[in-house]
A and B are shown apart, each in its own frame.
Chain A
């Protein structure tokens, strides 16, 4: 059964740094990988969706990659800003199209 892990659980970096968030999964038969952002007490905002046939997707300062052979996805945030502070969640779609979720990485950008 697919398992999704996000390490570290929390990350604090100074403003302006480029950073990478990690998401690993156990089953390479993944249909897609979606990255979300969640602000405290709020719902989820979809950031990027990578289909299994794709290697990466970009939106503004965000770039997400997918490497099925290594069971890894990364979310790269360029030139981080305090407004990027949030919890970032990844979820992989399994063969039943069900999303399997990581527990998230809480990101704090220090001004």
Chain B
């Protein structure tokens, strides 16, 4: 089965700690994305990657970092610099950057106390 996996489903961290969220896809897609979802708001783009070893900041990149060393993997690190990290994080991919359908993973709910 082709798809996108995210792990873990739930993540709890203490304030001041960095945490890395995993995203893996086996769809052979070039483009991958990280979004943040907060209650009552639309999704907001954190980072995206068009191809391996390339990534670009989205609208809310401050306090986050990513890497794209493999086509299949696009991990997101939430650093201690992110002022309000508690949120639902969604990873997506599309065949390429462009007007193409995006497919989403199941999400990771991060709670920082």
Instruction: Choose among A32, A97, A101 the residue that contacts B43 (Cβ–Cβ < 8 A).
Output: A101
B residues in contact with A51, CB < 8 Å: 99
B41 on the interface (CB 8 Å rule)? yes
Q: Do B104 and A49 have beta carbons less than 8 Å apart?
A: no
Instruction: Choose among B4, B42, B44, B105 the residue that contacts A104 (Cβ–Cβ < 8 A).
Output: B42
Given the known interface contacts A31-B99, A49-B101, the answer about A43 and B90 at a Cβ–Cβ threshold of 8 Å is yes
Q: Do A99 and B109 have beta carbons less than 8 Å apart?
A: no
B residues in contact with A52, CB < 8 Å: 99
Q: Do A89 and B42 have beta carbons less than 8 Å apart?
A: yes
B65 on the interface (CB 8 Å rule)? no
A residues in contact with B103, CB < 8 Å: 46
Q: How far is the CA of A44 from the CA of B90 in the complex (A)?
A: 8
Tally of B interface residues using CB under 8 Å: 22
> Which residues on A are within 8 Å of B, measured CB to CB?
4, 9, 31-32, 34, 36, 41-46, 49, 51-52, 89, 91, 93, 97-104
Instruction: Show 27 residue pairs from A and B whose CB-CB distance is below 8 angstroms, ordered by the A residue.
Output: A4-B42, A34-B102, A41-B107, A42-B106, A43-B4, A43-B6, A43-B104, A43-B107, A44-B92, A44-B104, A46-B103, A46-B104, A49-B101, A51-B99, A52-B99, A89-B42, A91-B42, A91-B43, A97-B97, A98-B58, A99-B43, A99-B102, A101-B42, A101-B43, A101-B44, A102-B42, A103-B42
